[in-house]
Chains A and B, each alone.
Chain A
Amino acid sequence: MVRGPAQRQIRPARVYQTVTTLMDHRVKPRLAIQQPVWYKVVESIPPSEILTRPFPPQHRQPNPRARKASRLFQPQKLVYKEDELRKKFYTDHPWELARPRMIIEMDGKDALRCDWSKGLRQPGMPLSGECVVQRQMYLMENIPGITEDVAYDQVRKEFYKLRQEEEIERRIAQEEARMVGAYFGQTFQQVGMQLEDQQFERWKRWATREIEKIQGEQTAAYTSFDASEGGADAADLDVDSLREDLESTANIPPA
């Protein structure tokens, strides 16, 4: 049996011709092959597939200086005018890409509900970079004499204003909510600092234990000798340095 994605099959498309031949054969006249149920259907609705190479839809202007045709039968890249505008906007505002965005369409007619002459806010569409691009496109196409940069500048400022409004609305809503008793948990930064503090505390406990251990060893060593030699030996230095570390860590004010 033939396998693999590149294997052409000729029988599926020629099923009607095959059965016609079977029915009309004269090899054994008494053997009557019944007309299949689909026979008339396939006869009236023939399959469309033709394995000829089509000339693909053209999306670019042909290069007049090209000496010979290149990739003549391959699909071409789809390029739209908005692509450049989109690229410019998101290069200038990379954090706009970090905002969550809904890409599911309801019935495919979402774009028809937008009227970009009205401004950046459109029904059923949250404010995003796409609004800027579409509005800029609208201005460039409908205002005579406006350049791309001027349109971008104008729409960009509208966008900033709306974003600022959103920010203020959110802040005031938060304040109102706090006023009537709502409380929000810790911020991410606070949670991070808390975790960090926990680790510091753990280290402090461990360091204290280590100091006590070293001091105990030292004490045991001193008791086994009659008189100490005096002066700071290596163990003393260790304890001192650890203690200094500990004190300096403890002096760090909590954030």
Chain B
Amino acid sequence: MIIREFGVRQGKLPAAQAIADANPRHSRKALAAAAPLRRGPQQCLRALSTETSGTPVATADPAVESALQTNPENPSPVPSLFARVAKPTRRRPVEPDTTKADWETAQQLRRNLLPVGTKVEHRYGPADVFRNPPGPKDVTLELLMASQAHMGHHASVWNPANARYIYGIREGIHIISLEQTAAHLRRAARVVEEVAYHGGLILFVGTRPGQTQIVTQAARLSKACHLFTKWTPGTITNSDKILPGIPVEIVDELDRPVGPAFNQHLMDRRALVPDLVVCLNPLENFTMLRECSQANVPTIGIIDTNTEPTWVTYAIPANDDSLRCLAVIGSVLGRAGEAGQKRRMEDAKNGKVTWETPSEIKQFIEIQQKRARWTKRAAEEEEAAANKANGGPNQSSTPRSSDRSYGRTPSTNKDGTPIFHADEAMAELQAEVDVINAEDDVSPQLRNMMRNLD
């Protein structure tokens, strides 16, 4: 302890001397209103110092303290506070700038030491695949083998439905045929790209620990959704209960939000169902795959030798226990989705829309248009009635011919002019809405019938 304190004093002494040699104002220059604070230079110094330790020791030195308080040899020539404030002086001791010399020395040292020692070459890092994700064009058998895509499970736990993908047995485990893996991976990448091109909603699912980054990166690349936590059972088949009021946005062909015109539709809209689901671990997500199959959603899954390949629409035979392999596959699919999105946006800029409006939104638009039309005609009828009452001509009440093509033909008068009743029109509209709702209710039954027919 004594030695340490001695060292501190030794170290602090030159600094204190420098402060003492300079004008005492220098040490307190940062305080604009220095006059009242001059009484306690210790507190000032302590407040100004950026050093975490040692400052109290330095200021506790009585010699330094006296030197700080008064300098008899060089008394302050400006007694007034205002004069000091008006003419601030900066008397920091100018140290020579050695930056350039230091840099040159470092470069020289580096040049001299460069040929010395071992040359460390960058071989492999787990984050490489995230820094530079490979695309479908980069898939080679060597890459797949280096990322351990070929290692299956022990031969005793195999699923015989995977016999097509298995090359042989080595050291007791099944070896997946990398030709099959590459072929199926390219096929799946093609599916992802095309679905992205047609504006489909893609979902990447990987719920094992360590798959978070893979899934999020793939989703980011392909502007898709991701899931790395538990799949809540019923998210598709019972979405009205599981996802009530989930925020949905309606965008145009350039992915711009269309504004508040569809707010009424969004309020009573059901949750979206993905158009394609990519699952990295089908074994743990059986429920999700089952729901997808019930909702007729195609799925892509990584099928290890112990997994059932019929759970997914498109199987990618690979090792689902190797994060490196999953990262490669995820990034390939993500890159494919990225390419599809890019193509879609280019086509949209050229005026080609690759998707069609969902039927619910179409119905909503039709109903809105019809409602606006009936409202307009009701207003015209009222105006015509008012004109008739006033004895004026009723020529303006004749409807346009285009209106006849919508809805049922209204009954006509004896002179051929149609009679329009607003309440009748609203009832008709309501009937149509009821029909549409009834059809929505019917559709699950129909689906069940279709399943039985299969």
Residues of chain B in range 179-193 having any CB-CB distance to chain A below 8 Å: 184, 187, 190-191
Cβ-based interface call for B341 (8 A): no
Cβ-based interface call for B145 (8 A): yes
Chain B residues with a Cβ closer than 8 Å to the other chain, count: 74
Contact B143 A107 (CB under 8 A): yes
Cβ-based interface call for A61 (8 A): no
Residues on A with beta carbons closer than 8 Å to the beta carbon of B70: none
Contact A57 B161 (CB under 8 A): no
Roughly how many angstroms separate A9 CA and B161 CA in the complex, as a whole number? 12
Roughly how many angstroms separate A241 CA and B428 CA in the complex, as a whole number? 117
Cβ-based interface call for B335 (8 A): no
Contact B283 A5 (CB under 8 A): yes
Residues on A with beta carbons closer than 8 Å to the beta carbon of B292: 12
Contact A21 B453 (CB under 8 A): yes
Residues on A with beta carbons closer than 8 Å to the beta carbon of B315: 47-49
Cβ-based interface call for A93 (8 A): no
Roughly how many angstroms separate A13 CA and B303 CA in the complex, as a whole number? 14
Cβ-based interface call for A7 (8 A): yes
Cβ-based interface call for A28 (8 A): yes
Q: Which of B9-17, B105-113, B406-414, B444-452 faces chain A?
A: B444-452
Best-surrounded residue of A40, A56, A75 (most CB of chain B within 10 A): A75
- Using CB atoms, name the residue of chain A closest to B168: A78
Cβ-based interface call for A232 (8 A): no
Contact A27 B449 (CB under 8 A): yes
Contact A108 B308 (CB under 8 A): no
Partner of B311 from A12, A34, A48 at Cβ < 8 Å: A12
Contact B163 A75 (CB under 8 A): yes
Partner of B161 from A17, A32, A33, A51 at Cβ < 8 Å: A51
Residues on A with beta carbons closer than 8 Å to the beta carbon of B331: none
Residues on B with beta carbons closer than 8 Å to the beta carbon of A25: 446, 450
Roughly how many angstroms separate A113 CA and B26 CA in the complex, as a whole number? 68
Cβ-based interface call for B310 (8 A): yes
Contact digits for A11-53, partner B, Cβ 8 Å, 1 yes 0 no: 1111111110110010110111111111011101101111101
Residues on B with beta carbons closer than 8 Å to the beta carbon of A73: 163
Contact B187 A45 (CB under 8 A): yes
- Using CB atoms, name the residue of chain B closest to A53: B163
Q: Which residues of A contact B (CB under 8 A)?
A: 1-3, 5-19, 21-22, 25, 27-28, 30-38, 40-42, 44-45, 47-51, 53-54, 56-57, 59, 73-78, 104-109, 124
Closest 8 CB pairs of A and B: A108-B142, A108-B146, A37-B200, A11-B293, A105-B146, A78-B168, A41-B194, A34-B359
Having A54-B164, A108-B141, one finds 10 other A-B pairs with CB under 8 Å, namely A9-B289, A12-B299, A12-B311, A15-B293, A28-B442, A33-B443, A48-B314, A54-B163, A57-B177, A124-B121
